Amino acid sequence: QVQLMESGPGLVQPSETLSLTCTVSGFSLTSYNVHWVRQPPGKGLEWMGVMWSGGSTDYNSALKSRLSISRDTSKNQVFLKMNSLQSEDTTTYYCARDRGWNYFDYWGQGVMVTVSS
Amino acid sequence: DIQMTQSPASLSASLGETVTIECRASEDIYNGLAWYQQKPGKSPQLLIYNANSLHTGVPSRFSGSGSGTQYSLKINSLQSEDVASYFCQQYYDYPFTFGSGTKLEIK
């Protein structure tokens, strides 16, 4: 069955770089797109960016200067790297699958990241 | 960016009631709208896509409607398991944007 699972550090120092991994199963990264979405505690959702099935990426312009998304199809993994982290980046990060129309039919369980010294 | 204005922010209704949640886009999104349900401590789950298409496995008491800039999610015969937050998302244009959410509680 389709599964996505985020992993990464729970705590990151201010100004440092966040590295997250989304490991997928039940579908191919070369057939489906995978997005990153984040959600501050008790707040709404923010789309961050996407790894398209063809290997290209798009980013939210608000985050583009700090964000990089890549993948390793042999390991069924999509990676997110975001630099210059600040307290406002304290949030839950989700990866989600897109069936090809930019809405999300499967989500990971999310990983909570706290930015603090 | 397309702004999604969702209302109400919170809603309290009785079991068996019908509730409606609205989303207004800052420009025409041509039915590029999805609705998600998020239960406490869980990830969002897709309910509706293309404004009015029910996702596989979603109970038929959920329905979506609208066009242009105005969209709504209706839940008929409210059940206890419908207690959750609900979000709309436009996917017509980048960056994809979400409404601020509606928290639904049972009276």
Q: Are A77 and A24 in contact (CB under 8 A)?
A: yes
Which pLDDT does position B95 carry in this prediction?
95
Across B1-12, average pLDDT: 97
Q: How far is B34 from chain A (nearest CA, A)?
A: 7
Which pLDDT does position A109 carry in this prediction?
97
Q: How far is B45 from chain A (nearest CA, A)?
A: 7
Please report, in tens digits, the pLDDT of each residue of chain A (117 residues total).
999 999 999 999 999 999 999 999 999 999 999 999 999 888 889 999 999 999 999 999 999 999 999 999 999 999 999 999 999 999 999 999 998 889 999 999 999 999 999
The pLDDT tens digits of the residues spanning B68-94 come to 999 999 999 999 999 999 999 999 999
Cβ of A104 within 8 Å of Cβ of B46? The answer is yes
CA A49, A54, A56, A58: dihedral to nearest 10 degrees?
-30
Which pLDDT does position A91 carry in this prediction?
95
Pairing of strands A33-39, A91-98: antiparallel
Q: Which residue of B32, B43, B89 is in closest CB contact with A107? A: B43
Residues of A in Cβ contact (< 8 Å) with B45: 107
CA distance A76 to A74: 6
